Amino acid sequence: MADQKIVKPQPLSGFPEWLPAEKLVETRLLDIIRRNFELFGFAPIETPAVERKDILLAKGVEAKEIYALSRLAAEQGAGPAETDMALHFDLTVPLARYVAQHFGRLVFPFRRYQIQKVWRGERPQAGRYREFYQCDIDIVGTDHLSILADAEIPSVINAIFTEIGIGRFLIRINNRKVLQGLLQAEGIEGDRVVSTLRILDALEKIGREKVAANLADEAGLTPTAADRLLGRIDGTTDLDGLAEEVDLPLVSEGVAELQAVRAGLMALDVPEENWTVDLSIARGLDYYTGTVYETRLVDHPSIGSICSGGRYDNLAHTFTKQSLPGVGISIGLTRLLARLLEAGILTAERSTPAQVLMTVMDRSLLGQCLSLASRLRAAGIATEVFTEKKKLGQQLKYADQRGFALALVLGEDEAAAGKVQVKALASGEQSLCDQDAIVETVRALLD
Amino acid sequence: MADQKIVKPQPLSGFPEWLPAEKLVETRLLDIIRRNFELFGFAPIETPAVERKDILLAKGVEAKEIYALSRLAAEQGAGPAETDMALHFDLTVPLARYVAQHFGRLVFPFRRYQIQKVWRGERPQAGRYREFYQCDIDIVGTDHLSILADAEIPSVINAIFTEIGIGRFLIRINNRKVLQGLLQAEGIEGDRVVSTLRILDALEKIGREKVAANLADEAGLTPTAADRLLGRIDGTTDLDGLAEEVDLPLVSEGVAELQAVRAGLMALDVPEENWTVDLSIARGLDYYTGTVYETRLVDHPSIGSICSGGRYDNLAHTFTKQSLPGVGISIGLTRLLARLLEAGILTAERSTPAQVLMTVMDRSLLGQCLSLASRLRAAGIATEVFTEKKKLGQQLKYADQRGFALALVLGEDEAAAGKVQVKALASGEQSLCDQDAIVETVRALLD
């Protein structure tokens, strides 16, 4: 081969890339998420990574975060040629486009999950990614969607985080109608709603006193009104009492929805320590119209919300005249995984998905080694055969480095007697086993 | 909401998008592929969809098929800003870059699988995609890699296609050294090798007679030499005899490797009807240096090769001075799935991953309905609750449309007696079952 200039590979900032051990953890998480989505009857869809630019821009998002596509060289010797395509930056716009485009061929309520990478041209900084996994579920109705759907969403999330084992978590549930009603009670309506919600959104971060001051300074509330508003959203547990106290349609409607969600979560056996109604969370200032969710790790509040979503009136008004109310939630998996690994809540210990390494000590016995490995695989036990001519010690070192649970060793004597050595790598314990009983022996040791 | 212009969604040519039923089939295929990759000890990696342009172009590929990325608007009001990034067009260049970049943190032989989308700016035409799944495995050694690895690759493929159930298939195996040796025996060496291989590559398509004519016209062989060459590559089964007849180092080396692969496949219990040594296949004209593979559906030859790959001397010579010999194979899943669906070999019958629909006939019994669904899910049985207020008939129609196996119906009488109706949707058979025995009853009916 001719001498060639070597291009030294560099990491791309903002584009995470795991080593196999971390990727195995991510794979496990993706499996748990998907299995639970399916357990609740969500069907998979996958949309292309690229959409037409006019689709992506239809909802009035900021263009500067979008990566556009061009052909590196459209014709021999020519420069880049523009296309009308760009990479999607979330899975909600593609869902809206998908439902509008395939409307006649879908059955409603349409329950879909979608687990894909999305791309955002953000300035790279710690914890921000330009390419990351989103795991979304949505239930979309035509013209109407029962509030029951709003109870199912957090029960799916509860099942997922419980199975992952990320420690104590809390799904906080609110309803935008209640918040808006409470603002209305203080005379805040129309254009002032969003800016006031933004002030309230800082409650957890800067505390009640500062928010009260901001409500007075920026939203024009009297100290008494600010205090009354904060008293209501911060710590109300008696929802019916609140609806009586603040007699406005928005409040009573929102409270009724929250009560329905609460009843649903109880009937679905979601443990009460994992969710709460919290009137202080605002989330999704422009988009959501009813229920809203966010989720935190109780022992790691600095990680922030790890999963959020809510109810919207109309999924796809930019793409179709059909009214499509829905409710959904999204897990930003890449960021979550990175933080869970950093915090030591999850650890990456093995770099192989296989549990058994079949060593090859004596090349003349290779046939028997391969045959033993085949038997284990046929029983569903992932088994690697060490392919290279190396000393047994080096093969066992490889098994240790990769994180195999068991190594099998076949010498001349064992082979002649129809036996094989089984070595547990963590303990170093070794036992002789009949080749005919290899599946049962390995299974028992792995359990 | 203000009246807004509606952007009508259109399919993007070359970017496949499945409905949920087809996507469920794809998901099943991806699961089978992954499970078998892991069963043989391949570890997952995932590389970003984007790479630096200089990395993608380092191997001298054609730039015109590459999609480059730019920021749609780098600053407020500004036009597209070029980046130095582009979408990967295969998983081999990213693997080479990954291994070179993370060399010190990987353990060799490095066995990885990688299942990701790739993008190619091809002119759209039937059966060609611009975005598609590739499912790759490679085993990469340092300085040396045993020929045993070349036997493992087709045994993984055999396990996958057997489990998918795509009907009769044949993995054809050859060795480039044998082919090159046979050309050498006819005096064809150096620059003339690749062009002659290209002539031979057409054997299946245009037949022996025309290839013989082309060998005479274009490669300058005498009719006798062309006939001798074609006789050897087309139908030789006695490899040792061939090595004796054509006494050249390339032939004997290639034959020895083929014999080792053959012995490995037998020891790995790969059924002989699923693979064959076929000296006529050439594959990967520039890249592969030893074993080569391609795979066809016996009853659907027009689909062409559904899986191909081979052995290479050096994975990453453009990125590192470390010698990295390897062997790998790739399944182009998107194209394969499309052809299998077209040919009716696989069918998409259900649009839900759940098997049970819990109907809600009487809203006052909602709590019991939700609780029954929770019990089934806790037992791992995917169950959807019908959320909308619709008549039972409409709910059962929905169950039929989506392809559920069972529907549960709970009326006042059943609820009072602690019972529930279980309806098998295909047969219409209905039975009354104790709520306490719901898991066992459903499991028995699903089996």
- Give A8-36 pLDDT, tens digit per residue: 898 898 999 999 999 999 999 999 999 99
> Is it the case that residue B91 has pLDDT exceeding 80?
yes
Q: What is the mean pLDDT of residues A247-258?
A: 97
Calpha distance A152→A327 (Å, rounded): 10
* Span B143-170, pLDDT tens digits: 999 999 999 999 999 999 999 999 999 9
Q: What is the mean pLDDT of residues B312-336?
A: 94
Average pLDDT, chain A: 93
Q: Is residue B47 part of a domain?
A: yes
For residue B271, cis peptide bond before it (omega within 30 degrees of 0): no
Residue of A nearest to B401 (CA): A107
A302 and A394 both lie in a single domain = no
- Cβ contact, residue pair B55, A83, below 8 Å: no
pLDDT number for residue A74: 62
> Is it the case that residue B1 has pLDDT exceeding 50?
no
Chain A residues 172-231 with CB within 8 Å of chain B: none
Q: What is the H or E stretch that residue A140 is in?
A: strand A131-140
> Is it the case that residue A222 has pLDDT exceeding 90?
yes
Cα A116 to chain centroid distance, Å, stands at 10
Calpha distance B74→B84 (Å, rounded): 14
Residues A281-312 as b or e (16 or more Cβ within 10 Å = b): bbbbeeebbbbbbbbbbeebeebeebbbbbbb
- Is the pTM here over 0.90, yes or no? yes
B133 and B172 both lie in a single domain = yes
Q: What is the mean pLDDT of residues A99-115?
A: 97
Choose the closest CB to B1 out of A317, A352, A389. Answer: A317
Q: Which of A313, A342, A371 is the last residue of a domain?
A: A342
A59 inside 8 A of chain B by CB = no
* Span A276-315, pLDDT tens digits: 999 999 875 678 999 999 999 999 988 889 999 999 999 9
Which residue type does A265 have?
A: L
Any residues with CB less than 8 A from the CB of B235 and at least 6 apart, and which?
none
**B26 vs A contacts (CB less than 8 Å):** 46
Q: Is residue A11 part of a domain?
A: no
Which residue type does B292 have?
A: V
Choose the closest CB to B19 out of A12, A82, A105. Answer: A105
Residues B357, B372: contact at Cβ < 8 Å?
no
How many alpha carbons fall within 13 Å on the CB side of residue B216?
A: 12
A197 and A312 both lie in a single domain = yes
Q: Is residue A130 part of a domain?
A: yes
pLDDT number for residue B194: 86
Q: How far is CA B19 from CA A106, B208, B269, in A?
A: 8, 44, 38
Residues B317, A1: contact at Cβ < 8 Å?
yes
Q: How many domains does chain A contain in total?
A: 2
**A357 vs B contacts (CB less than 8 Å):** 41
* Span B187-232, pLDDT tens digits: 999 888 888 988 998 888 899 999 999 999 999 999 999 999 999 9
Of residues B41 and B3, which shows the higher confidence score? B41
A112 and A225 both lie in a single domain = yes
Q: Is residue B363 part of a domain?
A: yes
B321 and B361 both lie in a single domain = no
Average pLDDT, chain B: 93
Q: pLDDT tier at B4 (50, 70, 90 boundaries)?
A: low
Residues A390, B107: contact at Cβ < 8 Å?
no
**B402 vs A contacts (CB less than 8 Å):** 107
B60 and B119 both lie in a single domain = yes
* Span B7-46, pLDDT tens digits: 889 889 899 999 999 999 999 999 999 999 999 999 999 9
A428 and A364 both lie in a single domain = yes
* Span A145-157, pLDDT tens digits: 999 999 999 999 9
Interface test with B, best of A33, A266, A370, A395 (most B CBs within 10 A): A370
At CA B18, angle to CA B15 and CA B19, rounded to 5?
145
pLDDT number for residue A4: 62
Which residue type does B207 have?
A: G
Tokens for B122, please give them: 């091809």
Q: Is residue B400 part of a domain?
A: yes
pLDDT number for residue B67: 94
B278 and B368 both lie in a single domain = no
- Cβ contact, residue pair A354, B38, below 8 Å: yes
Tokens for A238, please give them: 């008696």
Calpha distance A323→A102 (Å, rounded): 15
- Cβ contact, residue pair B39, A382, below 8 Å: yes
> Is it the case that residue A2 has pLDDT exceeding 50?
no
Q: What is the mean pLDDT of residues A98-122?
A: 96
Domain that holds residue B232: 20-342
Distance from CA of A229 to the nearest CA of B (A): 28
Distance from CA of B200 to the nearest CA of A (A): 25
pLDDT > 70 fraction of chain A, expressed in percent and rounded: 96
CATH number of the domain at B365, please.
Answer: 3.40.50.800
Calpha distance A147→A144 (Å, rounded): 10
B91 inside 8 A of chain A by CB = no
pLDDT number for residue B368: 95
* Span A386-414, pLDDT tens digits: 999 999 999 999 999 999 999 999 999 99
- Cβ contact, residue pair A64, B76, below 8 Å: yes
A120 inside 8 A of chain B by CB = no
Q: Is residue B424 part of a domain?
A: yes
Cα A75 to chain centroid distance, Å, stands at 41
Q: Using the 8-state DSSP alphabet, how is residue B301 labeled? A: G
Q: pLDDT tier at B2 (50, 70, 90 boundaries)?
A: very low
Residue A97 class from Cβ within 10 Å (0-12 exposed, 13-18 middle, 19+ buried)? buried
Residue A263 class from Cβ within 10 Å (0-12 exposed, 13-18 middle, 19+ buried)? middle
Residue B270 class from Cβ within 10 Å (0-12 exposed, 13-18 middle, 19+ buried)? buried
What does residue A194 show for φ and ψ, rounded to 5 degrees? -65, -45
Q: Which of B294, B315, B342 is the last residue of a domain?
A: B342
A338 and A402 both lie in a single domain = no
Q: Which of B315, B342, B369 is the last residue of a domain?
A: B342
Distance from CA of B252 to the nearest CA of A (A): 21
**B109 vs A contacts (CB less than 8 Å):** 387-388
Quote the radius of gyration of chain B (alpha carbons, Å): 28
Which residue type does A15 have?
A: F
Choose the closest CB to B319 out of A6, A63, A381. Answer: A6
What does residue B132 show for φ and ψ, rounded to 5 degrees? -155, 160
Calpha distance B51→B119 (Å, rounded): 12
Residue A6 class from Cβ within 10 Å (0-12 exposed, 13-18 middle, 19+ buried)? middle
Strand order in the sheet with A383-385: A383-385, A356-358, A406-409, A419-424, A430-434
* Span B246-297, pLDDT tens digits: 999 999 999 999 999 999 999 999 999 999 999 999 875 678 999 999 999 9
Q: Using the 8-state DSSP alphabet, how is residue A122 labeled? A: P
Q: What is the mean pLDDT of residues A170-187?
A: 96
A232 inside 8 A of chain B by CB = no
pLDDT number for residue A435: 97
Residue of B nearest to A25 (CA): B44
Residue A436 class from Cβ within 10 Å (0-12 exposed, 13-18 middle, 19+ buried)? exposed
For residue A216, the SS3 value is helix
A139 and A239 both lie in a single domain = yes
B294 inside 8 A of chain A by CB = no
Choose the closest CB to A44 out of B27, B50, B144. Answer: B27
A163 and A303 both lie in a single domain = yes
**B144 vs A contacts (CB less than 8 Å):** 388
Q: What is the mean pLDDT of residues A83-96?
A: 95
Choose the closest CB to B15 out of A48, A66, A354. Answer: A48
Q: Is residue B349 part of a domain?
A: no
B67 inside 8 A of chain A by CB = yes
For residue A347, the SS3 value is coil
Q: Is residue A1 part of a domain?
A: no
Of residues A7 and A269, which shows the higher confidence score? A269
Nearest to A37 by CA among A153, A164, A162: A153
Nearest to A232 by CA among A246, A211, A250: A246
CATH number of the domain at A200, please.
Answer: 3.30.930.10
Residues B368, B387: contact at Cβ < 8 Å?
no
B363 and B406 both lie in a single domain = yes
> Is it the case that residue B235 has pLDDT exceeding 50?
yes
Q: pLDDT tier at A5 (50, 70, 90 boundaries)?
A: confident
Q: pLDDT tier at A418 (50, 70, 90 boundaries)?
A: very high
Choose the closest CB to B374 out of A111, A268, A317. Answer: A268
For residue B109, cis peptide bond before it (omega within 30 degrees of 0): yes
